A and B are shown apart, each in its own frame.
Chain A
Amino acid sequence: MKISNKIIERHGLKIDEYKKIKLLLEREPNLLELGIFSAMWNEHCSYKSSKVHLKKLPTKNKYVIQGPGENAGVIDIGDDDAIIFKIESHNHPSFIEPYQGAATGVGGILRDVFTMGARPIALLNSIHFGEEKNKKTKNLLNGVVSGIGGYGNCIGIPTVAGETKFNETYNENILVNAMAVGHANKNKIFYSKAKGLNKPVVYVGSKTGRDGIHGASMASAEFDENSEDKKPTVQVGDPFTEKLLLEACLQLMKDNSIISIQDMGAAGLTSSSVEMAHKGSLGLELDLSKVPCREENMTPYEMMLSESQERMLIILEEGKEESAKKIFDKWDLDFKIIGKTTSSNKLILKYDNKTVADIPINALSTDAPIYQRKWEKTKLVKNKKLNNIKKGNFKESLLKILTSPNHSNKKWITQQYDQMVMGDTILRSGSDAAVIKIHQKNKAIAVSVDSSANYCNASPQVGGKQIVCENWRNLISVGSRPIAITNCLNFGNPENKKIMGQFVETIDGIKEACEYLDFPVVSGNVSFYNGTNKKNIFPTPVIGGVGLVQNLNKVIDHRFKDIGNEILVIGKTFGHLHQSVYMNEILGINDGLPPEVNLKNEKNNGQIIMQLIDNNFVRSVHDVSAGGIILSLAEMSMSSGIGVKIARPNKLSNIFEYFFGEDQSRYIVEIKKEKISATIKLLDENNIFHETIGQTQANNFSVEKEFDESVDKIYKLNNTWFKNINATIKK
């Protein structure tokens, strides 16, 4: 078949890129080869627009065993225990088919983690939908949540944390990011690098069908009116098979059979085989006639580009074929030797004894295009003075926020996730971070995912920094020491200078915070082209962090514990309202700058909270984030049923600025009377700003002269939005 411009375009390749392919091959590619190039050279696999910028991120501290570049990042948590984790996006597939899109997103990220030898122990997700009144929103929400739950519940890994946000910017492009966290022995970690010649290359797992052909290209293509046509490419997940694959792989990993192993994710057999060969500077020869197929008459093109789920590629030590096969037989999974490693540095594909593709590995990896895309700085909009702010109604404002979808109780979602399977979940969803015990040990990890699209849109640099800090605060608030993060960078079209600028500046912000806090990036994912017809989404970096709890008795949460305790705010309140929930949702204003983060204060305040927890001075801790002090207090009350009595701010500050302001680096703590003086002494000695704002009390949530309602009532109000959702959802 002659390769026409139309065919090139349909493969998501630019004409210049096609010219480069011809140069590298020194001839025209055939259709199969073109398909392979298109899969490897697209944004999703090649990182061609992001690579030069991602390099700037800090990736090391004393805990890091493996940073970016492998299937997932690895950190050392002592006693030979390693934690392996990564986050990944499945945005476009989830918009097209929310259940399967989200489910296969979970399945995919799980494989990234267990392919490295870890048993997955926790799942998280960050999901962003359009505004409430968009008619697709509720159905998408319902489908995505069932899909995430459907997969995680069935495979038996607890889904323990996440975030759910609604914003008009996602009306035509939702975000579904899934994170998986696994536990491994640090001396038994598996990598994708191939080694040795003539080693058997083995295909295991499900059979290959026509699922998701061109999925990887689709994930990198902007939506347009015709995206409906791309629907048949959506893959279907089978968590049952993944469970079998997980157990079989972990069993095989116990002996020394595996040289290298790689999941088949985006671009399936193509990317997994190229990745293994490239990392090992070897060639691979595969016989596609041997690939287990689900449908009849599948072509080599289909086999190489299929994104059927629940498959892995393994390079085995010679002589281990029999024993390895036995394991996969036990779990009723396909096991097929489909090729061998070679010294040729080429990917050679055979079918029916004919060579059907012959491509230098480098052409697909190192020689893939890398772009220094043009970018421009985001124009910052100065804060305008807010004149009418004094006229607001405090009570109505708070109630409106409590009943808005963004700040509603997310129980409707989290009850659809099994959070307790595996028996190690100490803190579940609803906490600042989830805490998962390391099985049968006296230590735990804390995990959290966070994003703040409004902040990032107003100032990508400040937003990038803020989101890392918020994640750090969440991990600290449950009694852990933050160790490292993964990140999923969801952006619009990188060929647009403004968007590229958002990307570059976000990375600057993330980098600055990570460096200062010694909180490196060990893995991540970039999702570009989120948007439709030139309307791009707000820049939405999502940070997934992991912290370590050394002593299980120090795990703490944000639920008030008793009546009559003092409530302190740690960190200074200036009353920054621009880009806050109050300005956005109550005043309907969406401009100005997000609150700045002072990294020095961030670190000091965080460390003092760790110390307060360590000294058993505090009964509950909650970070102050979106919605300010008042929303944080309400959350502490609603989760515990215990009320508060809060005084008006004593200085001249405006009550809205004071209670709804979103200044950074703050925490609320609950302290028993007898621990107050010791606490204050410690805070003063360390020059930490603090103020006592009130006490816990029975039944009522009250703010002097402004608000007085039973906790019960605000709890009910906080649950109404989701309670009313069922009636309107497509089944």
Chain B
Amino acid sequence: MKSSVIVFPGSNCDRDIAVALEKLQFKNKMVWHKDSELPKSDLIVIPGGFSYGDYLRSGAIAAKSKILNEVIKAANKGCLILGVCNGFQILIETGLIKGALLRNKNLKFINKDVYLKVNNTNQFCKNYKNGQIIKLNIAHNEGNYFTDKNHLMEIKENNLIAFQYCDEKGLVNDETNPNGSLNNIAGILNSKKNILGMMPHPERMIDKIISNEDGLNIFSSILN
């Protein structure tokens, strides 16, 4: 499996993602945002960080970079695309995933471990059990997902929510919602289900010595 990680000025989880991909034997390439060509890839990852300092709106400026045109082309051809944190924000700004990511409801940056309920009916989550509760880490200022009523209907009808914030027991409610996200959405797919945007960082949970290994299955699901 070939993967590419897009690197913008200000990306800072690019190395972490690469470590995760390499751990699962992806043949990975780092792609600089000014490049106009994208190596042939089965998976494109847009990593977390503060591309362009998160100035203007997070993800807005990265979404205008040259390489994004190539990413959009690849996406339309069905290539798998994973956007994590700032990568999710960039996907939103390009329109590849609908909706908006607003400031966290407490207006503060939030870094903590959160529980997530997995919906495994997509290629990114196949290796989880349906409804499985996993623990990943979030670290963001703007992860408060918002969309309009029609889109929300579509999301629900087509099973496009990949992850929802919950507690240890799987309870999804306001108390287990760290950032004010609509329906506790932590990760969401486009309608063709080849693009996943998620706020939590799977690449931070790939090693027991450091935390846990709950993030590994995202990468392994993509593999087969």
Contact = CB atoms under 8 A, between A and B. Distances in A.
Contacts of A422: 12, 15-16
A420 B137 contact: yes
Contact of B16 (A238, A423, A555): A423
Contacts of B54: 154, 240
Interface in A400-438: 414-426, 437
Interface in A243-260: 243-244
Interface centre among B109, B110, B111, B211 (most CB of A within 10 A): B111
A156 B210 contact: no
A464 interface: no
Contacts of A243: 9-10, 12, 50
A239 interface: yes
B210 A416 contact: no
Given A416-B109, A416-B111, A418-B111, A423 B209 contact: no
Nearest to A150: B109
Interface in B53-82: 53-55
Interface centre among A156, A244, A419 (most CB of B within 10 A): A156
A241 B12 CA distance: 13
A243 B16 CA distance: 16
A155 interface: yes
A153 interface: yes
B218 interface: no
A416 B110 contact: yes
A418 B209 contact: no
A63 interface: no
A423 B210 contact: yes
Contacts of A418: 109, 111, 139
Contacts of A240: 9-10, 50, 52-55
B171 interface: no
Nearest to A244: B9
B10 A154 contact: yes
A415 B12 contact: no
B192 interface: no
Interface string A130-158: 00000000000000001001100111100
B19 interface: yes
A156 B54 CA distance: 12
A301 interface: no
Interface in B127-159: 137, 139, 141
A415 to B, nearest CB: 5
Given A153-B50, A239-B50, A420-B204, A426 B109 contact: no
Interface residues of A, number: 35
A415 B201 contact: no
A425 B106 CA distance: 25
Given A154-B54, A244-B9, A420-B139, A437 B209 contact: yes
A421 B52 contact: no
Contact of B210 (A153, A414, A437): A437
Contact of A239 (B15, B53, B141): B53
Interface string A7-47: 00000000000000000000000000000000000000000
Given A153-B139, A240-B50, A421-B16, A146 B108 contact: yes
A731 interface: yes
Given A239-B50, A240-B52, A423-B204, A415 B10 contact: no
Interface residues of B, number: 32
Contact of A155 (B12, B109, B203): B12
B49 interface: yes
B13 interface: yes
A419 B12 contact: no
B27 interface: no
A302 to B, nearest CB: 26
A151 B209 CA distance: 28
Contacts of B16: 421-423
B112 interface: yes
Interface string A423-466: 11110000000000100100000000000000000000000000
Interface string A285-313: 00000000000000000000000000000
B209 A426 contact: yes
B13 A421 contact: yes
A552 interface: yes
A426 B137 CA distance: 13
A726 interface: yes
Interface string A63-107: 000000000000000000000000000000000000000000000
Interface in A374-412: none
Nearest to B53: A240
Contacts of A149: 109
A726 B204 contact: no
Contacts of A238: 53
A236 to B, nearest CB: 12
A417 B137 CA distance: 12
A52 B217 CA distance: 59
B12 A421 contact: yes
Interface in B26-56: 48-50, 52-55
B90 to A, nearest CB: 15
A555 B109 CA distance: 28
Nearest to B112: A415
A12 B9 CA distance: 41
A552 B49 contact: no
B111 A154 contact: no
Interface in A198-242: 238-241
Nearest to A425: B210
Contact of A423 (B53, B112, B203): B203
Contacts of A150: 109
Contacts of A437: 209-210
B113 to A, nearest CB: 9
A426 B52 contact: no
A495 B20 CA distance: 56
Nearest to A153: B109
B50 A423 contact: no
Contacts of B9: 240, 243-244, 331-332
Contacts of B108: 146, 415-416
Contact of A156 (B13, B209, B211): B13
A426 B207 CA distance: 10
Nearest to B107: A731
A552 B203 CA distance: 20
A424 B210 contact: yes
Contacts of B48: 421
B111 A415 contact: yes
Interface in B176-224: 201, 203-204, 206-207, 209-211
Contacts of A156: 12-13, 49-50
Contacts of B139: 153, 418, 420-421
B210 to A, nearest CB: 5
A632 to B, nearest CB: 24
Contact of B50 (A154, A416, A425): A154
Contacts of A420: 111, 137, 139, 201, 204, 211
A403 B141 CA distance: 28
6 contacts: A154-B50, A154-B53, A239-B50, A240-B50, A421-B16, A421-B48
**CB-based closest 7 A-B pairs:** A156-B12, A240-B53, A423-B16, A154-B50, A418-B139, A418-B111, A420-B204
Given A416-B111, A420-B111, A420-B201, 6 more contacts: A153-B109, A154-B54, A156-B12, A240-B52, A423-B15, A423-B206
